[in-house]
Structure 1
Amino acid sequence: MIHNISYRAFVYGTENQEKVESAIKTLFPTSSPQSEFTEGYFKNPVLILHDKITKKRELRDFVKNLDKLKDPDKKRIVNQLENKMDHKGNLFLRFDKQRAYLEDLKVVEHGDSIHVKIKIAAYPAKKEVALKIAREIFGE
């Protein structure tokens, strides 16, 4: 169903790194993110936490975690699948960092979030095939 999942989250100077890592654990309980320092627009330090999930068990755990999404969020994802997926079958979602810290998954559109890229296992690797599989994952 899923080949791999990549994610990244930005930790800004006003945020607590441990809290952002805790938010990530809500989505990916066994992930140990790598960190990378960069500089923001106003020369402020920004830490990027990122990882790539490839183990089948961890991928299944993520899909099970999606069951925590409320029905309106699931429907929103299904309704936006066409726009959230590229021609290679990569599905792009964003989860609210603050809500994830509170162990509540919420799909959002804003940038201050956990950015997730899901590579759908579609054969052949076409968007139409990946869309069908993604609809199954999200319970349509």
Structure 2
Amino acid sequence: MIHNISYRAFVYGTENQEKVETGIKTLFPSSSPQSELTEGYYKNSVLILSDKITKKRETRNFVKILNELPVPDKKRISHQLENKIDDNGNLFLRFDKQRAYLGDLKVVEHGDSIHVKIKIAAYPAKKEIALKLAREMFEI
């Protein structure tokens, strides 16, 4: 149902890298993110943590984690799927970094989050097919 999952999270100068990595482990327990140091808008240093998950076992574990979300969150995602899936069958979600650190997953719309891109295994890779498969994934 999923080809791969990629994510990235930004660690700003006021944040603790280990805490952000702990939040990532809430979503992807076996992931070891790669880091890239870059410069922010105001010339401050920003660390980007990212990884791509391709192993079936790990993608299935992620789907289990999504299915453990509270029913209102799953309904919210399900209702927004049309806007969250692109024409190539990629589903985009964001999870609150601070809440993930505390072990609580919350889907959010703001940028200060863990950005997740889920490549849905849709054949052919069309939005309509990806939408159908994603709805099945979030079925309540």
Scaled to the shorter chain, the TM-score interval is: over 0.9
Deviations 1:108-137 (A, max 9, x none): 000000000000000111110000000011
Inter-partner Cα distance in structure 2 for 1:129 and 1:90:
11
* Structure 2 partner of 1:75: 75
Which amino acid counterpart does residue 60 of structure 1 have in structure 2?
R
Inter-partner Cα distance in structure 1 for 2:39 and 2:110:
20
SS in 2 for 1:124: coil
- Normalising by structure 2, what TM-score? 0.98
After superposition, where does 1:54-133 map in structure 2 within 5 Å?
Answer: 54-133=54-133
SS in 1 for 2:91: strand
Q: CA deviation at 1:69?
A: 1.1
Inter-partner Cα distance in structure 1 for 2:68 and 2:40:
33
Which amino acid counterpart does residue 48 of structure 1 have in structure 2?
I
Q: CA deviation at 1:5?
A: 0.3
SS in 1 for 2:10: strand
Which amino acid counterpart does residue 45 of structure 1 have in structure 2?
S
After superposition, where does 1:21-32 map in structure 2 within 5 Å?
Answer: 21-32=21-32
Question: Given that residues 93 and 107 in structure 1 are in contact (C-alpha distance below 8 angstroms), is that contact kept between their aligned partners in structure 2?
Answer: yes
Inter-partner Cα distance in structure 1 for 2:127 and 2:67:
24
SS in 2 for 1:23: helix
Which amino acid counterpart does residue 10 of structure 2 have in structure 1?
F
Question: Given that residues 96 and 106 in structure 1 are in contact (C-alpha distance below 8 angstroms), is that contact kept between their aligned partners in structure 2?
Answer: yes
Stretches of structure 2 lacking an aligned partner (at least 5 in a row): none
Inter-partner Cα distance in structure 2 for 1:103 and 1:68:
12
Alignment: residue pair count: 140
Which amino acid counterpart does residue 124 of structure 2 have in structure 1?
P
Deviation beyond 6 Å, 4+ runs, structure 1: none
* Structure 2 partner of 1:43: 43
Cα RMSD (Å) of the superposition? 0.7
Inter-partner Cα distance in structure 2 for 1:68 and 1:23:
16
Inter-partner Cα distance in structure 1 for 2:43 and 2:124:
44
Q: Percent identity?
A: 82
- Normalising by structure 1, what TM-score? 0.98
* Structure 2 partner of 1:34: 34
